[in-house]
Each structure stands twice: as structure tokens, then as C-alpha cells.
Amino acid sequence: MGKVYCDIAVSADGFATGLNQREEAPFGDIDDGWLHRWMFDTYEENRAEVDAILDSGATIMGRNMFGPVRGEWDRDWRGWWGKEPPYHGPVFVLTHHAHEPIEMLGGTTFYFVTDGIRSALDQARAAAGERNISIAGGASTVNQYLAAGLLDELRLHITPCILGAGERVFDGVPPQRLERVSVRAASLVTHVTYRPVRQ
């Protein structure tokens, strides 16, 4: 069975998004370059980490990461990524509102899970087989999996900025110990991998 991992870019004060997420500002009221510039402007320097983000057999994400639609599905939203999302496999979206699966180009299909994080993980395991499972985010989704003890590896990509407010990794997560697996500093980001220590 593969491991359950998460990659998430955060500010130095731990925020993965700013305030007021909306369609025209998916990461809220911030300069998105602060959090994700390292993935694009210095891709060659961070190629291993960028490639590892999508190296999974299935992906789980929260509804906020999938898009800005709230409440009932009242519009034909198909994600932020255009006609061919980068996942190229099954993506399980946590939501309170049922929705038929959405097939996209390149092998990505979005499935909508209404019965919680464990059900999404069970479905992702069945789809991934022996491959790893990615918890893509946002921070709230990552925190739920951390709090439930279901995450095997947490990869933080820490950027040298302070957001001051927004959605923070570790909010609501009970005390637990993390083992540092690796750390690597690059010009625009520091990559830190942790493994939650099982009691």
C-alpha cells in the first residue's frame, strides 16, 4: 500500500492562503507569487519537489481547492486548471453537496465525496492500488487528515513571506510529534518533510 502524503506551500507564519478567497483571487488577498513563485520562476532548482507533488495514484482535495462555488452546485464549474488538469488520475473532492463525476482531458476525473475524509481516503486507496495518495489541500483538508492521524508524510514548502491572516496549516490539529525527514533550502523556498510519529 502506498503512503498518504501532502505537499503544501505556506508563508513563514504558516498560512496557505490569504483572506477572502474568491474566483478572481483563488489564494485570497495576497500576491500569489509570494507562495508559489518558486514553482515557476525557479522550476529547475526545484524540479524534484515539483515533480513529486503530482506523483500519486489518486488525489484528495477540499471543495475550496476545487473552486469558488459554495452551497448547492448552481453552475458548471470544472476546476481552476482548464480542460486538462495536471492530476492525470482520479481526484476525490470533499463536499457536502452531491455532484456527478466530471471527466476531463488527460485522464483526470473529479469524484465528489459527501461522507467524509475516511470515505474519500478509502476510495482513493481503491483507485490508487499500490501507488501513493496525495492530499492536495487546502489547509483545512490537510489539517483534518493530520488531526485524524491519516497522513504519513507532510511536505511543507516554506516561502519567505508573512501573510498575517488566512487559512493556516496546523490550526485545530491536536498536539503531536513530527519527525523531520529532510530539509533543503533553495533561493525562494525551504522544503521541509515531516513524518507524524505514531503513538
Distance CA 15, CA 24 (A): 19
Question: What 8-state DSSP symbol labels residue 105?
Answer: G
Question: What 8-state DSSP symbol labels residue 107?
Answer: G
In the chain, alpha helices (H):
33-40, 47-53, 63-66, 117-128, 139-147
Which pLDDT tens digit goes with each residue over 95-121? 999 999 999 999 999 999 999 999 999
- What phi-psi label fits residue 2: left (phi over 0), alpha (psi between -120 and 50 degrees) or beta? beta
Predicted TM-score (pTM) of this structure: 0.95
Model pLDDT, residue 69: 85
Model pLDDT, residue 32: 64
What is the pLDDT of the chain when averaged over all its residues?
95
Which pLDDT tens digit goes with each residue over 37-96? 999 999 999 999 999 999 999 999 999 999 988 889 988 999 999 999 999 999 999 999
- Residue 86, SS3 per DSSP: coil
Let me know: does 59 contact 92? Beta carbons within 8 Å.
Answer: yes
Distance CA 74, CA 27 (A): 22
Question: What 8-state DSSP symbol labels residue 123?
Answer: H
